[in-house]
Structure 1
Amino acid sequence: MNQPSVIKQSSLTGTRTIAHSCPSCGHPELSVFYEVRNVPVHSCLMMPTQQEAIDFPCGDVVLGFCPECGFITNVEFDANNSDYSPIYEDQQSFSPTFNSFAYKLASRLIDKFDLHDKNVVEIGCSKGDFLILLCELGNNRGLGIDPSAIVGRVQSEAADRVSFIQDYYSEKYADRVGDFICCRHTLEHIHQTAELVRTVRRSIGDRLDTTVFFEIPDMGRVLTEQAFEDIYYEHCSYFTPGSLARLFRNSGFEVDDLYLDYGDQYLMIEARPVATPSTKIHPAEESLEQLVRDVETFTANIGNKLAHWTQHLQEMRSQGKRVAVWGSGSKCVAFLTTLGTKDLIDCVVDINPHRHGRFIPGIGQEIKSPESLKDYQPDQVIVMNAIYCDEIQQMLEKMGVTTEVTAI
């Protein structure tokens, strides 16, 4: 691992410059602007016992900003900590809200790129929900590559047209291209981002009619809203529209479209390979100057955001109020470990049944079903993602649980 060293003050307010190569463009210096120490190196590996969860390995999050391309990375990330095995549980398709989004996205991609009776490859397919949906709706054939894939988890009439490789994507799968390549919520887990995107480009070769679609969290929103719950060890790479577009252009693609979706939380890019370098700039790309301002806004306000939530949880405990967290995934882990308030929460629930009875890494809290709130009777439910508030409110009302619902 490249151990960074401080070399000088940065021109970015509230940061310091370190000698560390940018994994996206190779620039030799980054400006560190945010640090969280001793956090779990994984958020979605479900532990079978409380002690294993408490003893889970920890690492540091130290975010560095590249002044050349705008990419943001955890300079303390160690890829040796990555373990995306079948016990990695990140499936989101138990939520009607998420399923509606996925259906609309799949339908739009099928219509836009005429994905009918085509070969589709998904890099980082998780349990295969989206890949199978693309094959269902477009009568396509699919190949998913992901070490956490579980064959048969998703039941579908298209299942016999979808195959899985339980492995990390690499050069050895360069011949598995297809007509459409998608990669959703995987690039942010990859430290050497340029290496992955260029591997995809090399695999395409001269098949210039191949379409590539990537989806990742939008770092622009994280910066402007100080959304610290979206910063955690597993996510070692953070993109805004501009930095993502620059990476794809520098890797042999032309950016056809660049946009936000899912409450402006997700950043999407549609690109196609080109024979000569593209200079086409998409209107959605922010300037480096704007990105610098957003980073400075984050550094100026993050302390107040953290203090607010710490004080809130402490006050609820001192008043004898019962607080439950809805959502046991990465946002929950970041929320409680960043604040150092894991002992102030006694109840964490999740809609995903494959998480129930398991324990959260680094926190040790047992994950329970939403129905457990009937007995717990919380005074407040803190929702880890505001986009689910309406869905959760409806579930609580059906269960006869009257409580205050608030989002981070």
Structure 2
Amino acid sequence: MSQLPAIEQPNLIGTQTTPACPSCGHSELAVFYQVQNVPVHSCLMMPTQQEAREFPCGDVVLGVCSQCGFITNVAFDASHSDYSPIYEDQQSFSPTFNSFAHKLATRLIEKFDLHDKEIVEIGCGKGDFLVLLCELGNNRGLGIDPTSINGRVQSQAADRVEFIQDYYSEKYGDRCGDLICCRHTLEHIHQTAELIKTIRNSIGDRLETTVFFEIPDMGRVLKEQAFEDIYYEHCSYFTPGSLARLFRHAGLEVEDLYLDYGDQYLMIEARPVATPSTKIHPAEESVAQLLQEVQHFTTQISTKLDYWKQHLAEMRSQGKRIAVWGSGSKCVAFLTTLGTQAAINCVVDINPHRHGRFIPGVGQEIRSPQFLKEYQPDEVIVMNAIYCSEIQQMLDQMGVSTRVIAI
């Protein structure tokens, strides 16, 4: 494994031998960041504190490919993957998120004339978005996800939606819709090229099929040193350039490439082509530009981590009460990366399916936001700034006066 030139930062790891880049097959990746001993799942809610504290852990060791710009956890062990119905990552309890999802669904339906069509969603979760597409466009849907639960989402379109509790693979190659949709799943897949090629093979010569993917944007993570968005389940990290290169390599032409949801999410719209595409989208950065962003991250990340460690230590020394709003992956990464779980005695979440459960690797019980009326925190740390207005409104309605800050 090579090291990036001119990078000086304390987290650099020595030279190792790793498998080829899962995205392009290049033989060397340069390691630039690591976090040791983090829970291998962030959204598997544990029934007891002991089970949560004894949850299996692994290491995050990020390496970047100098050929295509793909970033991956070179220490990832796929045997830890355990996606099941108790994996709880549903976001549709937030009005902010629901508004975004509705606008996105409407956009896709209008742009690609998705009316009375067949839609396949890979990694559909509990099915919220697939059901929405079927409701708004009178479409028929197939959702494939090991965490899906029939009946979780109530809808008039329920009789037009089928869920298969399984991982997507070539055995579902004959289930190809007018739209193949995949949101916040590719980052959980280690063999990324294998998945995209499987999708392309399933499409065959049906060249009018649209492929839509949505994933976290690694470009923002690098620019903002957003360490809370780096965790074990996310073994694959993409920027616009590396994502577009992956799709072209698999036989898909990029039609659009853009950011949304406060520039946190990276979207790609593509079509299958008979011959390899060479069309470069204006939003793509070069590999050289990506490597510069990696260098920037490595020079700034220690400052970001030290700030939060110091802030939490000062608050604790002053006897201040801190609450974290949001118990998902960002929360787990925030606490375990900083190693300051003891400074946080309260974690709340609006998802009722999380209440009374315990955070893996942390052991903190997840409570309803209503608990803050009793707890009366001096500060609420919001795990995603896009929800600050929504959260402030809820706090005001509950009569909780506190300082609200976003990581």
Q: Fold-level match, TM-score > 0.5?
A: yes
- Residue 13 (structure 1) aligned to one of 2, 7, 15: 7
| Aligned pairs for 1:65-84 within 5 A | 65-84=64-83
Distance in 1 (CA, whole Å) between partners of 2:326 and 2:356 is 14
Deviations 1:206-248 (A, max 9, x none): 0000000000000000000000000000000000000000000
**Residue in 1 that maps onto 2:180:** 181
The letter for the 1-side match of 2:225 is Q
Gaps of 5+ in 1: 1-6
**TM-score, with normalisation over the residues of structure 1?**
0.98
1:299 matched to which residue of 2?
A: 298
Gaps of 5+ in 2: none
> In structure 1, the residue corresponding to 2:298 is in which secondary structure?
helix
Structure 2 equivalent of residue 330 of structure 1: 329
Large movers: runs of 4+ above 6 Å: none
Shift of 1:12: 5.2
State the match for 2:137 in structure 1.
138
> Is contact 2:54-2:361 (8 Å) kept?
yes
Distance 1:10 1:72 in 2: 13
2:271 aligned partner, one-letter code: R
- The CA deviation at 1:18 is 4.1
1:264 is matched with 263
Instruction: State the match for 1:350 in structure 2.
Output: 349
Q: Match of 1:313, SS?
A: helix
Within-5 A mapping of 1:325-404 = 325-404=324-403
Q: Is contact 1:19-1:30 (8 Å) kept?
A: no
CA RMSD, 1 decimal: 0.8
Equivalences for 1:201-220 in 2 at 5 Å?
Answer: 201-220=200-219
Measure how far apart 1:19 and its partner are.
Answer: 3.3
Q: Which amino acid aligns with 1:13?
A: I
Cα offset for 1:43? Answer: 0.1
Query: Which AA in structure 1 matches 2:284?
Result: E
- How many Å apart are 1:13 and its aligned residue? 1.4
Question: In the aligned structure 2, how far is the partner of 1:18 from the partner of 1:235?
Answer: 21
Amino acid at match of 1:306: L
Distance 1:395 1:167 in 2: 37
**SS of the residue aligned with 1:116?**
coil
Contact persistence 1:12–1:31 (CA under 8 A): no
Partner SS state of residue 373, structure 2: helix
CA offsets, 1:113-138, max 9 Å, x none? 00000000000000000000000000
Measure, in 2, the Cα distance between the counterparts of 1:8 and 1:267: 28
Aligned to 2:127: 128
Q: Secondary structure at the match of 1:354?
A: coil
8 Å CA contact retained: 2:2, 2:28 = no
* In structure 2, C-alpha distance between the alignment counterparts of 1:192 and 1:9, rounded to whole Å: 23
Check the 8 A contact 1:322/1:380 in 2, yes or no: yes
Distance in 1, Cα, partners of 2:27 & 2:3? 15
SS at match of 1:361: coil
One-letter amino acid of the structure 1 residue matched with residue 357 of structure 2: R
Shift of residue 17, structure 1, vs aligned partner:
5.3
Q: By how many angstroms is 1:372 displaced?
A: 0.2
Is the 2:31–2:63 contact (alpha carbons within 8 Å) kept by the matching residues of 1? yes
SS in 1 for 2:404: strand
Kept in 2, the 8 Å contact 1:337–1:363? The answer is yes
How big is the shift at 1:8? 5.0
CA offsets per residue over residues 170-226 of structure 1, 9 Å max, x none?
Answer: 010001111110000000000000000000000000000000000000000000000
Q: Could you say what secondary structure the match of 1:299 adopts?
A: helix
1:25 maps to 24
Counterpart of 1:309 in 2: which secondary structure? helix
How do 1:156-167 residues align onto structure 2 when only pairs under 5 Å count? Answer: 156-167=155-166
- Aligned twin of 1:148: 147
The alpha-carbon deviation at position 9 of structure 1 amounts to 4.1
3-state SS in 1 of match to 2:168:
coil
What amino acid is aligned across from residue 112 of structure 1 in structure 2? K
Contact 1:10 1:17 in 2 (8 A): no
**Offset, 1:10:** 3.3
Aligned partners of 2:35 and 2:59 also within 8 Å:
yes
Contact kept in structure 2, 1:19 and 1:28, CA below 8 Å: no
Structure-1 separation of matches of 2:3 and 2:193:
27
- Give the distance between the partners of 2:133 and 2:227, measured in 1 at CA: 33
| Letter in structure 2 aligned against 1:305 | K
Query: Among the aligned pairs, what percent are the same residue?
Result: 80
Secondary structure, counterpart of 2:187 in structure 1:
helix
Question: Helix, strand or coil: the match of 2:314?
Answer: helix
Distance of 1:105 and 1:194 partners within structure 2 = 26
Measure the CA separation in 1 of the matches of 2:263 and 2:2: 35
Paired with 1:126 and 1:219, the residues of 2 have a C-alpha distance of 22
Structure-to-structure mapping, 1:109-120, within 5 angstroms: 109-120=108-119
SS of the equivalent of 1:353 reads coil
Report the TM-score, using the length of structure 2 for normalisation: 0.98
Q: Aligned partners of 1:391, 1:17: CA distance in 2, in Å?
A: 46
**Mapped contact 2:3–2:31 kept (Cα < 8 A):** no
Distance 1:387 1:353 in 2: 20
CA contact (8 A) 1:123 1:183 kept: yes
Instruction: Measure, in 2, the Cα distance between the counterparts of 1:39 and 1:8.
Output: 25
Work out whether residues 2 and 29 of structure 2, in 8 Å CA contact, stay in contact via their aligned partners in 1: no
Give 1:307 shift.
0.4
Which position in structure 2 is the counterpart of 1:3? none
